[in-house]
Amino acid sequence: MTVPTSSAPLSPEHDAPICTQETARAAGLDVAPSPSELAAVAASIVRTWGDRHAEPDDETASTADAGAQLARAVPLLLAEVTRLRAELNHAHDDRTGACLARWEEEQDNARLRLALASAQRGRQEARTRIAELDRATRAFEALMAKHDKAKAERDRVLAALAGVLGIVSAWCIEANEVGGVDAGDLAWRLEQAGHQLPDEETPAPADPTRTVLDEVHAERQRQDARWGQQNHPDGTGLPIYQHSARRYRDHTERAAASGHLAWRDVLLEEVHEALAEADLGKLRAELVQVAAVAVCWAQAIDRRAAAPAEESDH
């Protein structure tokens, strides 16, 4: 009897046990068999039946034929097991590749989220920097305007002084020639040139800041006269005031950047910055700033009130 055999030996990964050790023991086996071991057992059965029944009767021939059929089926079983294991390995590789691709995608998404958060922080920092630059630019422009105004005033004073010196110099020469000093003549010449001499009875121009501060001082005296000395707790430094200080500061910056800044915005920012302070020294400094802004606002109102009268005079 010819014993069928597989065409080629199985590789170690394809010749692994066909079941677990627990399953093999449950089936009455000591160890889990491999496909090649099953093939060897089948071939041994066929050879044994062939040696014992050289002249088989019908029953033994039938049994031998069954063994031969088993031996023929084993290579087919081995081939099927090999194919299924190859498909399983391929599916495992596909699943591993898909998991790896998913992991790389998640890593890319995490990097994108980090980049987005960094870009948002950079945008906020850029906006803050732009607001700071805008404030610095406005402050510089205000300083340049004051400088230009002071320079124009200086040039005007120097020109007037040069004219006065010319008149005085000419008068001194003439007075020296005639041998007499006439102060009235000098005053007349200066007035004719447009240099009006100050009158001792003419009061000096009032300082706008001093005017408002005098009013503040008078109001303080009225308060003391009515309420006496007042000593209340500060009640500042609470978290809600610190939050409102940041909110009003941001609002003031946006209003200034858009060209819609109002005195209300400036004063509220200073008030809430004072309310946010718990340190006495810093609180006092903020309160001085609040008072200064209030005085400046009052001066602006006075200028607006005086503007129509000045225009009507001209």
Whether the model clears a pTM of 0.95, i.e. scores above it, the answer is no
Residue 41 has pLDDT above 60, yes or no: yes
Q: Is 248 exposed, middle or buried (0-12, 13-18, 19+ CB in 10 A)?
A: buried
Q: Look at 9-13, 184-188, 226-230 and tell me which has the smallest mean pLDDT.
A: 9-13
Residues 6+ apart with CB under 8 A from 10: 35, 36, 78, 82
Question: pLDDT grade, residue 284 (50/70/90)?
Answer: very high
Residue 13 scores a pLDDT above 80: no
Distance CA 301, CA 259 (A): 20
Alpha-carbon distance 69 to 3, whole Å? Answer: 10
Q: What is the mean pLDDT of the chain?
A: 79
pLDDT in tens, 180-221: 656 667 677 777 777 666 665 555 567 888 889 999 999 999
**Band of the pLDDT at 253, cuts 50, 70, 90?**
very high
pLDDT of residue 4: 43
**What integer is the mean pLDDT of 139-164?**
85
Mean pLDDT of 218-243: 92
Distance CA 38, CA 29 (A): 12
Residue 1 pLDDT level (bands cut at 50, 70, 90): very low
- 6's CB contacts (< 8 A; 6+ apart) are 39, 74, 75, 78, 79
Question: What percentage of the chain has pLDDT greater than the value 70?
Answer: 70
Q: How confident is the model at residue 159 (pLDDT cuts 50, 70, 90)?
A: confident
Condensed to tens digits (0 to 9), the pLDDT of residues 59-107 reads: 555 555 655 555 555 666 666 677 787 888 888 888 888 888 889 989 9
CB 26 within 8 A of CB 42: no
CA pair distance 178, 224, nearest whole angstrom:
67
CA distance 38 to 35: 5
Please state, in angstroms and rounded to a whole number, the distance separating the CA atoms of residues 56 and 91: 49
